[in-house]
Structure 1
Amino acid sequence: MSPGSSGRAGGDGTPADAERFRDVLAELRADGCNLLVVGDAPRRLFTAASAGLLGGPDETRYRLLAITDASSRSVVERLPDPEAVPGSLAETTEVVNHAAPPRSVAEEAGRPEAPPLSDISEPSVADPELAGLQADLAEAMAAFDCHAGGLDPGQLRVGVDSVGALVEHYDEDVVRRCLRVVTGYVSDYDAMGHYVLTEPYGSDRADRFADEFDAVVELRAVDAAGRDHGAEERWHVPSRDLTTDWLPL
C-alpha cells in the first residue's frame, strides 16, 4: 500500500478510522512526505514495499533510488517493466550508487527476464561526509523537475536503501544531517521519499531516526495459510496520533 491508495485501516478498524487514514494518505501525497520503512522482516519484503512506494506504470513518474547495500536484483525488482511505462524509463529513472566498494547495478542485474538497466543513469559516489550523496540526489531531483517542466505532487519518488548501511560506515550524526538535507529536498518538490532501515519497529535505532520522518511504515511476514497474502504493513503517523491496523502489503 502506498500514499494515495485505498484500503481498510485505523486504530480500531472502524469506517471512521479508515476514512481518517485515507485523508492522511491524501495529504501526505499532496504535500510530499518522507517515510521510514522498518520491521523485523525478510529483506524481500523491504524490496516489495520499496517497489510499491516507487510507483507503478499507470502514470508518468520519476524514480530516484540511492543504494548502499541493496542487491542488484532487488533494484531491478523495484522498477516497472520499461515496456509498460509511459515515456522512457531511462529518462525518468536514476540509481545513485553509494555502495562500498561501488558495484554496477546494470552489470550485475543478470536476470534474462529483468528490464534492461544499461540505459539508466547510475553515478557512483563515495565521500567522507556524505556531501557527495546529498549533491547527487539534489542534482537528480532538479534535473527531473526541469525535464518534467515542473513536477506534480507525488510524481517524483525517491528511495534510500539502506539507512542502516550508512550508519555502519558514518557517524550517526552525519547520517542524520544527510537525511535532513535529502528529506528537505523531497519536501520542496512535493515528492514521496522512503528510507529503508532493516530494524524492528521500536528498536533503539528505529526510535532515534523516527522523528526525522512524517510516518513510519512497519513490515512483517505472516503465515499465508488461510490468507491471500504473506506480508503485512502498519503505518504510524505520530503527528496525527494515528496507527493503522495491519494491512496486506
Structure 2
Amino acid sequence: MHTGGGTDGNTVGATVGVATALDDLKSRGSALLVVGTVPEDVYTRVSACLLGGNGDADRRRLVVERGSGSDVRFDQIDRWTPEWTRILSVDLAARNSTADASGATGASDRLGPDGSSGLASPTAPPSPTSDSTSFDAYGGDRTRDDATVTVEGSIVDLGVEIGTAIREFDAVAGDLDPAELRVAFDCVAPLLSEYDRQTVFRFLHLLANDVRSVGGMGHVRVPEPFDSEIVRLFAPLFDAVVELRLDGREPQQRWHLRDAGLTSEWLPIDDGR
C-alpha cells in the first residue's frame, strides 16, 4: 500500500512510522475498518489493493458481499478453485426474534484465551442454508461463478459459513503464512438493517479474531463518515481505520493506526499492494 512521502522532517518520520506499522499488521494478522461516503468504485479499488493482485500468486481470498454485481477487484484474479478463492453472496433473512439475536451474540462466549472465536472452531456445525463448495479437485477452466456460494439465513448462518471457509483455507494450506489469507467483508450495512448494533458488534468482534487467528488480513466496509457514531462504535475492534474521501475528483485515503497511535497524511489511492 502506498504510504506517501514529503520533504518535511516530521512528515517523513510519520510516513516511516505508518509504513512500519503496516508491515507489522501484515506480519501478525490484522483487521481493518474501511470508512467514508465515497462512490462504490473508489472502495473497490482500495479493496482490490488490500486483497492483493494477480502478481500475488500465494494469496487466498474470501470475499463476503451482497449481490454479485460487476467488481473490478476480481479482474486480476485467475485462480477460481475453492482452495484459492471463495465469494460468499449474502441473502440474509430478517430474523429479529430473541432466539436468533441471542444465538449470534452468544457466540462471543466462545472466545478462547488466545482471543480466537468459536466461529472458526472445529466443532462449528455446517450451515444448513448454504450451497457450500467443497475443496474437491476441479477439471477445466473455472470462473467467478464457480467460486460463488450463496448464503441464506441468519447472522449465525453467515458466521458459521465464514468460519468454515477460513478453517478450510488454513487446512488446505497446511497452516497459512502471514497475510496469505485476505478477507473482504462488505455486508455491515445489510446486517445493521436486520439486527441491532450490539449483535453486529459482537459478530464483527468474532470475525476480526477469526482472521487474526490464522495470520490473515481482513477489511470490513462501513460506508459512513469517519466521525460518525457507528464508526466510533466499531473502530476499537480493528487494528486500523482506512478513511476514504474524494478531493475534487481525486480519491484519497488516510490511515489511522490504533496501536501505533499514528495517522497518515491524505494519500492517493494507487494499485500498490
Q: What TM-score results when the alignment is normalised by the length of structure 1?
A: 0.81
> In the aligned structure 2, how far is the partner of 1:153 from the partner of 1:195?
19
> In the aligned structure 2, how far is the partner of 1:82 from the partner of 1:234?
26
> In the aligned structure 1, how far is the partner of 2:92 from the partner of 2:9?
44
Q: 1:166 Cα shift?
A: 1.0
1:81 pairs with one of 76, 82, 85: 76
2:168 maps to 1:143:
yes
C-alpha RMSD of the superposition: 2.4
Question: Which segments of 5 or more consecutive residues in structure 1 lack a partner in the other structure?
Answer: 105-114, 225-229
Equivalence for 1:170:
195
Q: 1:206 Cα shift?
A: 0.9
Deviations 1:162-189 (A, max 9, x none): 3122111111111111111111110101
Map residues 49-128 of structure 1 onto 2, 5 A cutoff.
49-59=46-56, 60-68=58-66, 71-74=68-71, 77-83=72-78, 88-91=79-82, 92-100=84-92, 116-127=143-154
Q: 1:158 Cα shift?
A: 0.7
**Bigger RCO of structures 1 and 2 (CA < 8 A, at least 6 apart):** 2
Q: 1:7 Cα shift?
A: 3.7
Equivalence for 1:227:
none
Deviations 1:49-105 (A, max 9, x none): 11111111112211111113x55213xx2124344xxxx322311111223479x9x
2:220 pairs with one of 168, 178, 195: 195
Question: Which segments of 5 or more consecutive residues in structure 2 lack a partner in the other structure?
Answer: 94-128, 132-141
2:200 maps to 1:205:
no
> In the aligned structure 1, how far is the partner of 2:182 from the partner of 2:9?
31
Deviations 1:161-220 (A, max 9, x none): 031221111111111111111111101011001000000110111111111111100001
> In the aligned structure 2, how far is the partner of 1:12 from the partner of 1:234?
19
1:161 pairs with one of 173, 178, 186: 186
Contact 1:40-1:220 at 8 Å conserved across structures: yes
> In the aligned structure 1, how far is the partner of 2:77 from the partner of 2:89?
21
Deviations 1:130-180 (A, max 9, x none): 111111111101111112121110010011103122111111111111111
Q: What TM-score results when the alignment is normalised by the length of structure 2?
A: 0.74
2:251 pairs with one of 227, 231, 235: 231
Identity %: 32
> In the aligned structure 1, how far is the partner of 2:230 from the partner of 2:9?
28
Aligned residues: 221
Aligned with 2:63: secondary structure?
strand
Deviations 1:27-50 (A, max 9, x none): 000011100100121222111111
* Higher Rg: 2
